[in-house]
Structure 1
Amino acid sequence: MFALLGAITFLGIVAAAILFFYAPAILQQTDKLEKADAIVVLGGQYFRPIYAAELYNEGYAPQILVSKPIIYTEVKALRDLGINRKFQWEIYREVLLKKGVPESSINYFGEDSMSTIDEAEQLKKMFNEKKSDADIKKIILVTSPLHTGRAGKIFRDTLPDKEFIVVATPYEPISEKWWTNFRTAPYIILETTKNIYYYLGGAFRSSEQR
């Protein structure tokens, strides 16, 4: 009995060590870039619309679908005071336009999305409601490197009839000693937790947080 417990403990320590040192490699799961029907850019870091615009300009897809993330109460409070604090999707739009993407090639989906599962479900809802988008079969999904694994899993689970090509922005390098970086370390810890939660059947939805 003690030998079994010792073996389990040892294996647990080894697994934890592997997860710790190789977390970035485990979290990053990208696909080979190829042409598609649309580019979907998720809410979050502003490198995402920058890279999405570059892919558009290189001819990888004829349109970009932009997620509209949740508007937090502090942002609404600033706008109520007359301070023109732009919403994230508005900044995304400006980035895309500045990078040469025409207004006619930019469309939006979702409302108040606070999580990746929200974005996937809102995209599915849009496809179900807009029959004109039925010809969109292959989608390039643009997100941050450490988010690629979970994002790909969620979108493929939610929209199994679509083909997703998950790509990472090239502007967010991950340090080998990630635990020493004050930006990367909390991101990896949080992303690892979110992965475990999702694989256990959990999901964060804005409708459940109010």
Structure 2
Amino acid sequence: MTSSTAPAAPRIAGSRAGAVLLRGALVLFAVVIGLGVAAWYGREPLLRYTANAWIISDQVGRADAVAVFGGGLEYRPFAAAKYYHQGLTKKILISNIGASPAEEIGVLQSHIEANRRVLIKLGVPEAAIEPFGNNLSNTYDEARALREWAERTGARSIIVPTEIFSARRLRWVLGRFFADGSVIYVPALEPREYRREDWWKNAPGLIAFQNEVVKYLYYRLKY
């Protein structure tokens, strides 16, 4: 009698343990689902906060020059012209990035020529416009070339405008070359295609943000 009834206790204990584990798993699953639902319905404040935490922007002051880096033709030269007309600078620099094959044969305008034409159209005298660097291929090369220009000319303060999501990476790169007391302003420009308040609602904003996060991590690891 005793030997036939004794094995039942472990089976009962095992079944109870299994039930406890199952209930625990169900509770955990419910918590995860609840957090997911909460995150979905509360995503807009979270995404807005994420962008505001990522974006950095400097209040500009008087500077020896404004530097227009490659890209951002719709925004950067316009900002540079505005600073010029506000009397913040007397010199606008244009990055001499490498030409594409279409630019080399004259089908498309070069980066320097396109920016120069925008600046002149906006009332900046040609004498105030100057290229810097040679065949620059990325932001790191541009920052290094800008440093060389500053050393050659004795410039101590420069404004480098860029779009909202690239400002963090740009400021970090410039800090690698201007860590000697030079004043570098990096104002963040609001694009027309997206805004910091709702950047996730259209493709340009989503692409710009995710690309800049990847680029920032890449630059930190490489440089």
TM-score scaled by length of structure 2: 0.72
- The 2-side partners of 1:67 and 1:19 are apart by 36
- The 1-side partners of 2:52 and 2:118 are apart by 29
- The 1-side partners of 2:57 and 2:85 are apart by 21
Q: Give the aligned residue type for 1:194.
A: K
Residues paired across the two proteins, number = 181
2:80 alignment partner, SS class: helix
Equivalent residue runs for 1:187-206 within 5 Å: 187-200=208-221, 202-203=222-223
Residue deviations 1:162-197 (CA, integer Å, cap 9, x gap): 210111234445253423311111111110001112
Answer whether contact 2:133 2:142 (CA < 8 A) is retained: yes
Answer whether contact 1:67 1:119 (CA < 8 A) is retained: yes
Residue in structure 2 matched with residue 35 of structure 1 by the alignment: 62
Residue among 162, 169, 182 paired with 2:189: 169
Q: CA deviation at 1:30?
A: 0.8
Q: Which has the larger radius of gyration?
A: 2
Q: CA deviation at 1:126?
A: 2.6
Q: Give the aligned residue type for 1:149.
A: R
Residue in structure 1 matched with residue 24 of structure 2 by the alignment: none
- Unaligned runs of 5+ residues in structure 2 are 1-27
- Unaligned runs of 5+ residues in structure 1 are 1-5, 204-210
CA RMSD of aligned residues (A): 2.5
Instruction: Describe the shift of the 1:26–1:114 C-alpha distance in structure 2 as closer, same or farther (beyond 3 A).
Output: farther
Q: Which stretches of structure 1, 4 residues or more, deviate above 4 A after TM superposition?
A: 17-21
Equivalent residue runs for 1:63-78 within 5 Å: 63-76=91-104
2:143 alignment partner, SS class: helix
Instruction: Describe the shift of the 1:141–1:72 C-alpha distance in structure 2 as closer, same or farther (beyond 3 A).
Output: same
2:160 alignment partner, SS class: strand
Residue among 120, 131, 148 paired with 1:125: 148
- The 2-side partners of 1:189 and 1:126 are apart by 32
TM-score scaled by length of structure 1: 0.76
- The 1-side partners of 2:209 and 2:100 are apart by 23
1:183 alignment partner, SS class: helix
Residue among 145, 161, 172 paired with 2:164: 145
Q: CA deviation at 1:72?
A: 2.2
- The 2-side partners of 1:109 and 1:34 are apart by 22
